[in-house]
Chains A and B, each alone.
Chain A
Amino acid sequence: MRAMRYELSHLDMLEAESIHIMREVAAEFERPVLLFSGGKDSIVMLRLAEKAFWPAKPPFPLMHVDTGHNFAEVIDYRDRRVAEVGLRLVVASVQQAIDEGKIDDETGPRASRNQLQTAVLLEGIEQNQFDAVFGGARRDEEKARAKERVYSFRDEFGQWDPKNQRPELWSLYNSRHKRGQHIRIFPLSNWTELDVWQYIDREEIEIPSIYFAHKRKVYRRDGMLLAFGPQVTLLDGEETVVETVRYRTVGDMSCTGAVLSGARTVTEIIDEVASTRITERGATRADDKVSEAAMEDRKREGYF
């Protein structure tokens, strides 16, 4: 591709926009925090934050909402990366909230801690008085997200009101909020799944091993391949099989599906993503399959 003078590639433009947003937040908010799960989107976010403030460290801590059902490879990665950048990590633990009796764990074979994350996330925000919360959500992920602003305002209850969003013009972001309210910030709003992978490739960023093809004991439920583990109770007729799979998203083990794949490098993942015909969340997230507006409903309550 010819590179004209004063021309930027789409990745350069997306990067510039995300960095602009991060600097704006650092300048206008008192206590920002970046949600970091070790998933690919938050990995890209952390790299962008490093870039935005270099040679200084990003002026905010990281937070992970830990469901207690995470993939071990991802937690290892998370801790290694946090040590590398030298930032403080706040862990908001779902298990701890359950142990303290603040929330009830779901029971039964279809139990999921996905819903419980919202309460723990909101408590983490409140306890630490975070007023800006960076998330890695993208508008191409889901149709409710297609209409969400880069600065997504949340009231005292952490709720999102989709019909009453602030207009967002040019690159002028409105940071106004009262004490107790916060604003979710989505610097990757205009990125697609493919952009994220192309960026990981270009920047040569390390990612957790579960994104690459590996053999894993899985079982099939609701058309998805879910990881088998000690927390799983199989339903009648379900059985485990060993398959060569990889993950397209990283979330709670109980509701994040794997896809059959032989992709062992980032380049192979890019080829796979470019030719795939199913959306990222459609292929792999049981939590979105509950209803047409499942994501919107969870977002209203304060989900990521």
Chain B
Amino acid sequence: MEMLRLATAGSVDDGKSTLIGRLLYDSKSIFEDQLESVERTSRQRGEEYTNLALLTDGLRAEREQGITIDVAYRYFATPRRKFIIADTPGHIQYTRNMVTGASTANVALILVDARKGVLEQSRRHAFLASLLRVPHLVLCVNKMDLVDYDRAIFESIRDEFKDFAAKLDINDLTTVPVSALNGDNVVTRSPNMTWYEGTSLLHYLEDLHIASDRNLIDVRFPVQYVVRPMHNAFHDYRGYAGTVAAGVLKAGDEVMVLPSGLTSTVESVDTFGGSVDEAFPPMSVTVRLTDDLDISRGDMLCRPHNVPAVGQDIEAMVAWMTDQPKLRPGQLLSLKHTTRQVRAKVMDLQYRINVTTLHRHEGVPHLGLNEIGRVRLRTTQPLFFDEYRRNRVTGSFILVDEASGTTAGAGMIIRS
């Protein structure tokens, strides 16, 4: 059974919680005690319908204020796939939360209300999904029951969204007309929309081909940990543990080590169960080489004729996630990229992007909470990286504020 990660975006008004509730309920992933607890709370509050948002809003402050504060993770499985939903709130801190949820997602699901059409918020969500390069995007036009399942309304929303999406870097866009409340096109095809020729949302999610979204070409193996057993049975064992970021590694392959530039050959790819023939993303393995080289955490294995960029000057789109401090030129931050920890200086803030209009504002002094901009950084040590559009692992980094320790920024590398 494969695993698929889904990020959902939208506000309560769009019926996002109802849609998630429907997916969980129809796949029998909501338990009786959870449903009872939600029904009880709904009744106490005098709400007319069972408020399925209460299923995901777990924190006391959220229940008290009726808002969703944070990314919530939900799990459900069908006989064909295990699903992880990163459910992000639509209003509050939407950028920070959606960037977080989208960073690991295979699919982004954006909801619009069929009566309201494409809103500013829908554009923002589409932009963020494209910025984070979520490989597949699904637009759910919800509440079709409230517009009499009208095909023309659906098509006009779909076309408007497509026009906007054309300006973005979106590879794969699918649109599904649904009614989360009634279950139309959520799990099974709806008899109310016979004009719709696509599949139900769940069927789409179960069937979507995601294996090819990984980069199996450019071998990238960031060394995470050096395994040295120090006991007699494995006296001379020296293995480089890590997670394959891209490409396929196997015994006999010639590899180059960065930063040294030395080459060697893969002796074996080890796991607890023994050696494996091949390692590919996102496997966690231990690689042994035929030569005794000086390799430590933060180094990277690649192929001699396919190496990442090596350098200290980086250009990236940065999403800023804290108000204290703001990102500004001259600032010194801690930067984590693959298994490398370095310091970085902000050399230049080229522009801030308006996430709704995509307009670029040049000459801004800083980036505040939930703002996104193009930034030039210089690092204390070289990084081994690729463009984010080519590799989400070797193209991403986080920025950490050294005073507070918080994760202050998320970076997607454009080029060196």
Give the interface of A toward B (CB within 8 A). Answer: 1, 4, 6-10, 12-17, 19-20, 23-24, 26-28, 50-57, 139-140, 142-147, 153, 162-163, 165-172, 174, 176-178, 189-190, 192, 194-195, 276-279, 282-283, 292-293, 296-297
Contacts and interface: CB of A to CB of B under 8 A. Distances in A.
Nearest to A280: B31
B82 A24 contact: no
11 contacts: A12-B283, A19-B243, A28-B341, A55-B229, A146-B72, A168-B100, A169-B410, A172-B396, A190-B73, A192-B75, A292-B63
Given A24-B224, A56-B230, A282 B405 contact: no
Contact of B70 (A24, A147, A177): A147
A174 B248 contact: no
Given A23-B284, A147-B58, A163-B61, A174 B228 contact: no
B321 A167 contact: yes
Contact of A296 (B59, B77, B216, B396): B59
A172 B335 CA distance: 10
Contacts of B350: none
A52 B3 contact: no
B142 interface: no
A161 to B, nearest CB: 11
Nearest to A144: B58
B202 to A, nearest CB: 17
Identify whether the interface residues of B are mostly helix, strand, loop, or mixed. Answer: mixed
| Most A Cβ at <10 Å: residue of B57, B225, B278, B393 | B225
B331 interface: no
Given A55-B237, A169-B396, A162 B59 contact: yes
B103 interface: yes
A55 B71 CA distance: 37
Contacts of A168: 100, 407
B396 A51 contact: no
Contacts of A176: 334, 400, 402, 405
Contacts of A145: 58
Interface in B179-203: none
Contacts of A190: 73, 75, 84
A182 B230 CA distance: 28
A169 B58 contact: no
Contacts of B405: 153, 166, 174, 176-178
B272 interface: yes
A51 B32 contact: no
Interface string B331-358: 0001011010100000000000000000
Nearest to A189: B73
B233 interface: yes
Contacts of A174: 336, 398, 400, 405-407
A140 B278 CA distance: 33
B376 interface: no
A165 B59 contact: no
Interface residues of B, number: 79
B41 interface: yes
Interface string B16-45: 000000000000100111100100010000
A13 to B, nearest CB: 5
Given A56-B229, A162-B59, A278-B33, A195 B321 contact: no
Interface in B369-400: 392-393, 396-398, 400
Nearest to A291: B60
A177 B234 CA distance: 35
Given A170-B392, A172-B336, A195 B82 contact: yes
B220 interface: no
A16 B241 contact: no
B241 A170 contact: no
Contacts of B2: 7-10
A147 B72 contact: yes
A12 B283 CA distance: 8
B410 A277 contact: no
Given A140-B75, A194-B77, A283-B33, A293 B59 contact: yes
Task: Across the A-B interface, give the 6 residue pairs with the lowest CB-CB distance, nearest first.
Answer: A143-B58, A282-B33, A51-B272, A56-B229, A19-B284, A176-B405
A6 B217 CA distance: 12
Contact of B3 (A10, A57, A146, A293): A10
Contacts of A166: 405-407
A273 to B, nearest CB: 11
B31 A278 contact: yes
Nearest to B74: A146
B271 interface: yes
A190 B83 CA distance: 10
A279 B37 CA distance: 12
A15 B230 CA distance: 25
A170 B104 contact: yes
B271 A51 contact: yes
Contact of B32 (A28, A192, A278): A278
B227 A147 contact: no
Contacts of A10: 1-3, 77, 81-82
A171 B393 contact: yes
B56 A143 contact: yes
B211 interface: yes
B96 interface: yes
A55 B227 contact: yes
Contacts of A192: 75, 77, 82
| Most A Cβ at <10 Å: residue of B33, B234, B280 | B33
Nearest to A25: B225
B259 interface: no
B58 A172 contact: no
